């Protein structure tokens, strides 16, 4: 079944390049200002604090891999996917691309600075840096696990695929064999955590949770990921988002 695929117009690609050139120096300055200072230490401390939950998470992920991933993916492949529904969920996937998330947060942060919304600007900058940190962590874990995507093959235990079999081109590592974790999920969840902590309004928090769940579902529905991929990515996103928030907490109390 051929679904509608959106292709970015060339002039927008050119504008994107100029946008990156503008954003890069500002992002470098955020790093120099210490938005990532101590994040790895904070992650280590959080792992120690919640150490009791790690075996439980591991059991859940292994259970999903062994008993849920394959039947759930086969069921999704067998059902007659509605073209409009697929296009909608594929659009959600596009909105959760790391580059789009970072670009959107960067734009919002700059607008908030311009409008002198100091606290909102700080939360958005923290969210932006959490999203980027999550994206980098995602790349490391993808390289370690080399898990085959369900769209490529239906062996849910096919890890370390690029190194042990099957892959003949380095490009395979860019998609076919980098299923775990879900980059869309980890970047999105990491970005949502600072907003969820700072804004306690029930409607705002409900919208944040629903958006995170929609991103998770979209990655599985479109057969880009196994269910265990998004569960693992969600846990990593929560961990990274909380760590980045904690090391930047003083910035929020300063502008409050």
- Is the pLDDT at 12 greater than 70? The verdict is no
What is residue 2's predicted lDDT score, i.e. its pLDDT? 42
**Length in residues, the chain:** 256
Domain-embedded: residue 13: no
- Is the pLDDT at 1 greater than 50? The verdict is no
Q: Which residue range(s) make up the domain with 34?
A: 19-255
Domain-embedded: residue 6: no
pLDDT over 70 for what percent of the chain? 88
Domain-embedded: residue 4: no
What is residue 14's predicted lDDT score, i.e. its pLDDT? 64
| Average pLDDT of every residue of the chain | 89
Domain-embedded: residue 183: yes
For residues 215 and 21, the model is more confident at: 215
pLDDT (mean) for 88-100: 91
Domain-embedded: residue 9: no
Residue in the block written with tokens 């970015």: 8
What is residue 205's predicted lDDT score, i.e. its pLDDT? 97
- Is the pLDDT at 101 greater than 50? The verdict is yes
How many distinct structural domains can be found in the chain? 1
Confidence of residue 70 (pLDDT cuts 50, 70, 90): very high
Please choose, from the candidates 153, 152, 170, the residue with its C-alpha nearest in 3D space to the C-alpha of residue 162: 170
For residue range 15-41, list pLDDT tens digits in order. 667 777 888 899 999 999 999 999 999
Q: Are 177 and 162 in contact (CB under 8 A)?
A: yes
What is residue 81's predicted lDDT score, i.e. its pLDDT? 63
Q: Alpha-carbon distance 101 to 132, whole Å?
A: 9
- Is the pLDDT at 129 greater than 80? The verdict is yes
For residue range 139-188, list pLDDT tens digits in order. 999 999 999 999 999 999 999 876 765 556 666 777 888 999 999 999 99
What is residue 255's predicted lDDT score, i.e. its pLDDT? 65
Domain-embedded: residue 101: yes
What sign results for the dihedral spanned by CA atoms 173, 178, 182, 186? negative
Q: Are 207 and 140 in contact (CB under 8 A)?
A: no
Confidence of residue 77 (pLDDT cuts 50, 70, 90): confident
Domain-embedded: residue 78: yes
Domain-embedded: residue 10: no
What is residue 125's predicted lDDT score, i.e. its pLDDT? 97
pLDDT over 90 for what percent of the chain? 74
What is residue 80's predicted lDDT score, i.e. its pLDDT? 59
């Amino acid at each position: 079944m051929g679904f509608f695929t959106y292709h970015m117009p060339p002039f927008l690609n050119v504008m994107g390049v100029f946008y990156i050139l503008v954003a890069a120096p500002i992002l470098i300055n955020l790093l120099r200002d210490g938005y990532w200072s101590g994040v790895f230490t904070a992650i280590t401390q959080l792992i120690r604090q919640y150490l009791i939950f790690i075996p439980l998470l591991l059991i859940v992920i292994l259970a999903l891999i062994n008993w849920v991933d394959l039947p759930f993916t086969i069921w999704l492949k067998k059902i007659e996917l509605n073209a409009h529904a697929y296009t909608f969920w594929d659009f959600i996937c596009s909105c959760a691309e790391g580059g789009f998330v970072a670009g959107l947060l960067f734009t919002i942060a700059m607008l908030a600075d311009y409008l002198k919304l100091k606290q909102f600007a700080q939360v958005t900058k923290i969210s932006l840096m959490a999203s980027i940190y999550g994206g980098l962590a995602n790349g490391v874990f993808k390289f370690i696990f080399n898990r085959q995507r369900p769209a490529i093959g239906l062996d849910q235990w096919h890890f370390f695929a690029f190194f042990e079999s099957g892959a003949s081109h380095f490009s395979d590592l860019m998609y076919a064999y980098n299923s775990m974790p879900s980059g869309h999920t980890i970047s999105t969840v990491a970005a949502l955590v600072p907003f969820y902590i700072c804004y306690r309004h029930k409607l705002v928090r409900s919208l944040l949770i629903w958006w995170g769940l929609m991103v998770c579902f979209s990655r599985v529905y479109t057969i880009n990921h196994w269910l265990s991929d998004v569960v693992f990515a969600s846990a990593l996103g929560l961990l990274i988002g909380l760590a980045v928030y904690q090391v930047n907490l003083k910035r929020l109390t300063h502008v409050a």
